[in-house]
Amino acid sequence: MDLSVRIGDKLTLENPIMPASGPLVGDSEKILALAAQGVGGIVTKTISVREAHVPRPCIIGGNDYIMNTELWSEYPPDRWEKEFLPSIRRAGKPIFISLGYKEEEILSLIPRFEPFADAFELSTHYLGKSLDPIAKTVRAAAQATDRPIFIKLSPHIPDPVEFAQMVKSQGGYGLVAINSLGPVYPVRSSVPSSPLGSADGFGWISGPVIKPLALAIIRKIASAVDIPIIGVGGVSSAQDVIDFIQCGASAVQMLSAAMLKGRTLYRKIIAALPAALESHGFTDFQSMKGLSLKTNTSAVYERRTPIIDPEKCTLCNRCVENCPYNALENRDKKIIVDPTLCFGCGLCESRCPVHAISGILR
Ligand SMILES: Cc1cc2nc3c(=O)[nH]c(=O)nc-3n(C[C@H](O)[C@H](O)[C@H](O)COP(=O)(O)O)c2cc1C
């Protein structure tokens, strides 16, 4: 099956999944190991004019999240230019070189990395919320190279649509959405303070917990602005890849889930893509792009009550315990719905572990 995706009119990937910038793409050895997993393109750790001095500990994980205080690459640009990128180039995959942060820094790096780059991905993570300096940087970068310029959107930017319009109007090619979210403050139960080594203990959160936020931002942009979007934030399965593409992304990146479950997750997801596409009745990604933007356009006020399938129900009682309206009861080994109490909220259907509840969610 053809898994290729087009990102705008200048870039094509053999499949839609790339690594996202971070420690798994921190040097050539790590990047070549991911290339061998079959990823459709390569992204580098963000390179800046100087190596980063990273406070430690800098990464903690839970079941469905990572919190980190990493900065940009701990290697200087010289090392990337002379050692890492020449060997990464030999993998024969499209390379997105991530650069940060200020205009003059990015302009000094572009000519050094242009020979290795199929595209640049500019991080604006430490530039604040004001669009003016970012707009100036986009314009200057787009004038400095004919390589496509992607801008990585940090989720603290208040208006992603305005941001996307700005990127397009300044000559940017596309967006990578989203960066990790924060600040967040983790605590360990044994110590009432953050285990992270940053001065304030704050970090940034990523992984499956941020997927709904990433999808909302991508949907908003894709519904309003005609610009290529690479979706990132919480991808951990072939179905997630489909969700992002149906919400308007052209391709996706993944990091945290591969840090939590292992690097072979890239290969596993790529192997699962044909079956996932087929299960939705598609044979390629191009025709499913943005499909979900055409649905869910008006609010529903009709109240529906749950239908319980006694054949599937295992009487685990989760729905009874979860119902905020006390509308469900386990009576004589049967789940009974009181329609006068049921608010039609949908929580029971979304939580049923065996899909024995239907009738509410659209
Ligand atoms: C440990 C760590 C380091 C990261 N470093 C960078 C970075 O150097 N540059 C960047 O643009 N994003 C960086 N990110 C953000 C990721 O590229 C990505 O946008 C974010 O983690 C959401 O994707 P995910 O949920 O698949 O991890 C980092 C994330 C993590 C967890």
What's residue 118's pLDDT? 98
What are the Cα distances from residue 81, in Å, to 51, 109, 123, 224, 302? 13, 10, 19, 38, 60
For residue 105, give the nearest of 62, 52, 55 by alpha carbon: 52
Structure tokens at 196: 């992270």
Looking at the fold, whether 84 and 180 belong to one and the same domain comes out as yes
Looking at the fold, whether 322 and 197 belong to one and the same domain comes out as no
pLDDT in tens, the chain (362 residues): 999 999 999 999 999 999 999 999 999 999 999 999 999 999 999 999 999 999 999 999 999 999 999 999 999 999 999 999 999 999 999 999 999 999 999 999 999 999 999 999 999 888 888 999 999 999 999 999 999 999 999 988 999 999 999 999 999 999 999 999 999 999 887 778 999 999 999 999 999 999 999 999 999 999 999 999 999 999 999 999 999 999 999 999 999 999 999 999 999 999 999 999 999 999 999 999 999 998 867 899 999 999 999 999 999 999 999 999 999 999 999 999 999 999 999 999 999 999 999 999 98
Looking at the fold, whether 44 and 74 belong to one and the same domain comes out as yes
Does residue 140 sit within a domain?
Answer: yes
CATH number at residue 311: 3.30.70.20
Looking at the fold, whether 195 and 151 belong to one and the same domain comes out as yes
Torsion angle, CA of 311/317/323/328, rounded to 10 degrees? 60
Looking at the fold, whether 192 and 332 belong to one and the same domain comes out as no
CATH number at residue 176: 3.20.20.70
Pocket test for ligand 1, best of 153, 180, 265 (most atoms within 8 A of CB): 180
Looking at the fold, whether 168 and 128 belong to one and the same domain comes out as yes
Q: Is the CB of 23 under 6 A from ligand 1?
A: yes
Looking at the fold, whether 286 and 316 belong to one and the same domain comes out as no
Distance, CA of 197 to CA of 277 (rounded, Å): 42
Neighbours of 161 (CB within 10 A): 14
Distance, CA of 351 to CA of 357 (rounded, Å): 9
Distance 22 CA to ligand 1 centre (A): 5
Query: Where among 292, 325, 341 does a domain terminate?
Result: 292
Residues 287, 155, 232, 213: is their CA dihedral positive or negative?
negative
Classify residue 179 as left (phi > 0), alpha (psi -120 to 50) or beta. beta
What does the DSSP assignment read for 137-173? HHHHHHHH-SS-EEEEEPTT-S-HHHHHHHHHHTT--
Looking at the fold, whether 284 and 320 belong to one and the same domain comes out as no
What does the DSSP assignment read for 14-27? SSSEEEPSSGGGSS
Distance 181 CA to ligand 1 centre (A): 10
Q: Please list, residue by residue across 132-152, b when 16 or more beta carbons sit within 10 angstroms of its beta carbon and e when fewer do.
A: eebbebbbbbbebbebbbbbb
Does residue 316 sit within a domain?
Answer: yes
Residue 95 dihedral angles phi and psi, to the nearest 5°: -115, 125
What's residue 296's pLDDT? 65
Looking at the fold, whether 241 and 327 belong to one and the same domain comes out as no
Looking at the fold, whether 258 and 179 belong to one and the same domain comes out as yes
Pocket test for ligand 1, best of 69, 255, 260 (most atoms within 8 A of CB): 255
Distance, CA of 275 to CA of 262 (rounded, Å): 22
Neighbours of 92 (CB within 10 A): 9
Please give the residue range of the domain that contains residue 101.
Answer: 5-292
Does residue 327 sit within a domain?
Answer: yes
Looking at the fold, whether 29 and 138 belong to one and the same domain comes out as yes
Does residue 36 sit within a domain?
Answer: yes
Does residue 172 sit within a domain?
Answer: yes
- pTM equals 0.97
Torsion angle, CA of 89/253/244/161, rounded to 10 degrees? -90
Pairing type for strands 328-330 and 335-337 reads: antiparallel
Q: How many domains does the chain have?
A: 2
Does residue 46 sit within a domain?
Answer: yes
Asked if 206 and 65 count as a contact pair (C-beta separation under 8 A), the reply is yes
What are the Cα distances from residue 320, in Å, to 117, 126, 334, 339, 359? 55, 46, 11, 14, 17
What's residue 129's pLDDT? 85
Does residue 302 sit within a domain?
Answer: no
Does residue 297 sit within a domain?
Answer: no
Neighbours of 49 (CB within 10 A): 16
Looking at the fold, whether 101 and 153 belong to one and the same domain comes out as yes
Q: Is the CB of 211 under 6 A from ligand 1?
A: no
